[in-house]
Amino acid sequence: MGYHGGTELASVYQDALAGEFGLIASNVAEPNTLIGLIEGAARVDSDLLLQMSNGACTFAGNGDPIAGLQAMGNYIELIADQYDIGVFLNMDHQTDLDTIQRQVELDIPSSIMIDASHEEFEENVTRSKRVVEMIDSAGADILVEAELGTIKGVEDEIVAEEAFYTDPEKAVEFIDRTGCDLLAISVGTQHGVAKGADLELRPDLAGEIRTALRDHGLDTPLVLHGASGIQSEQLQRMIEHGICKINKDTRYQYEYTRTAYDLYRNNDESIVPPEGAGGDRKSFFNDVEWSPNKDYFDPRVAGRQIRNRIGEVYGELAHTSGSAGQSRYV
Ligand code: 13P
Ligand code: ZN
């Protein structure tokens, strides 16, 4: 139970590979999404992998990504202690080695993703290997995810105009030379708002990469980024072909805002005065009959609905990916 490091997370991935299920890696930037996810995962007995990008850490830390990691790391650890499931934290799409060094020194994350996929192959190898060495020499209990190929779209501070699918032989060489624990591959998904029907998905390529790695004695879990748009059957096909970490961010962002929007729109007469009523906010609309209603504008009202909706969405995803009922700790 509670919050765990890399060794435990590696065991979860081994279970996932053996049992052919996937872990939905869920991005967070603030506490409502985080609590919704933990609650949702606990309801379906799934272990939970959270992740934070550099932008999310910077947001949570009021401009300071390391403060954001410390604050959210504490928050996650304390809330995770309330539940029986295992909770983990990945640092998503990290590009700056100095920031990674600080994350390693703090030893907060369960895993770190170094994203040097925009660099040439050799430079990608060099940077990814540096992160593995950093963690080894610090003796930290942190796994390393790296990326080979290019995933189209926009994810936080990462932008790619075009997709480059991952080459299986290069993937083997990459893992062999870097010693990374997980490999993010490009097989047709897209970061951001994407419709599954429009994507040129290549689960067969994921399978080829998995087989090529296995033929070289490497049992590396494969990671699917940009998974918000893909449909249940598409997701299951990817898992059958060796994907065992599935990244979702955009889906939760939409659910968050849509939930608040629906609440406020359906109760707008409790939040904004009727057109032409006059009065101002400073005086709490002293001069007019109308008053706002705290039952709707207290942010905790929307917050609770957001947590609940995010929990429901996570539960559905955990059933689709097969992690529901598979917690190592329950
Ligand atoms: P989406 O925003 O498309 O869900 O992608 C998430 C992701 O890949 C995080 O690394
Ligand atoms: Zn991503």
- 249, 255, 313, best to mutate for ligand 1 pocket (most atoms within 8 Å of CB): 249
The reply to whether 329 falls in a domain is no
Helix (H) or strand (E) holding 213: helix 203-215
Domain range for 68: 6-258+296-321
The reply to whether 92 falls in a domain is yes
Mean pLDDT by 10 residues, the chain (330 residues): 94 97 98 98 98 98 98 98 98 98 98 97 98 98 97 86 93 98 96 92 97 98 97 97 97 98 98 91 93 97 98 98 98
This prediction's pTM: 0.97
Residues 6+ apart with CB under 8 A from 184: 113, 115, 117, 145, 146, 147, 148, 151, 222, 223, 224, 225
- 231, 250, 310, 321, best to mutate for ligand 1 pocket (most atoms within 8 Å of CB): 250
Structure-block tokens of residue 275 = 């057109």
pLDDT value for 101: 98
The reply to whether 269 falls in a domain is no
Please, what is the angle between helix 31-43 and helix 65-80, to 10°? 30
Give the residue whose CA is nearest to atom 5 of ligand 1: 226
User: Whole-angstrom Cα distance, residue 112 to residue 91?
Assistant: 5
pLDDT value for 1: 66
User: Whole-angstrom Cα distance, residue 315 to residue 308?
Assistant: 11
Report CA(33)–ligand 2 centroid distance (Å). 18
Report CA(228)–ligand 1 centroid distance (Å). 6
Give the pocket of ligand 1 (CB within 6 Å). Answer: 27, 92-93, 155, 191-192, 225-228, 247-251
User: Whole-angstrom Cα distance, residue 101 to residue 107?
Assistant: 10
The reply to whether 280 falls in a domain is no
Q: How many angstroms separate the Cα of 215 from the Cα of each of 145, 209, 211, 220, 232? A: 20, 10, 6, 11, 29
pLDDT value for 180: 98
Give the residue whose CA is nearest to atom 1 of ligand 1: 226
User: Whole-angstrom Cα distance, residue 243 to residue 268?
Assistant: 44
The reply to whether 44 falls in a domain is yes
Q: How many domains does the chain have?
A: 1
- What is the tens place of the pLDDT at every residue in 26-41? 999 999 999 999 999 9
* Nearest alpha carbon to residue 262 among 290, 301, 291, 315: 301
User: Whole-angstrom Cα distance, residue 199 to residue 232?
Assistant: 14
User: Whole-angstrom Cα distance, residue 101 to residue 233?
Assistant: 39
The reply to whether 138 falls in a domain is yes
User: Whole-angstrom Cα distance, residue 140 to residue 9?
Assistant: 13
CATH code assigned at 184: 3.20.20.70
The reply to whether 194 falls in a domain is yes
Q: Which ligand is nearest to the CA of 153?
A: 1
The reply to whether 230 falls in a domain is yes
- What is the tens place of the pLDDT at every residue in 3-20? 999 999 999 999 999 999
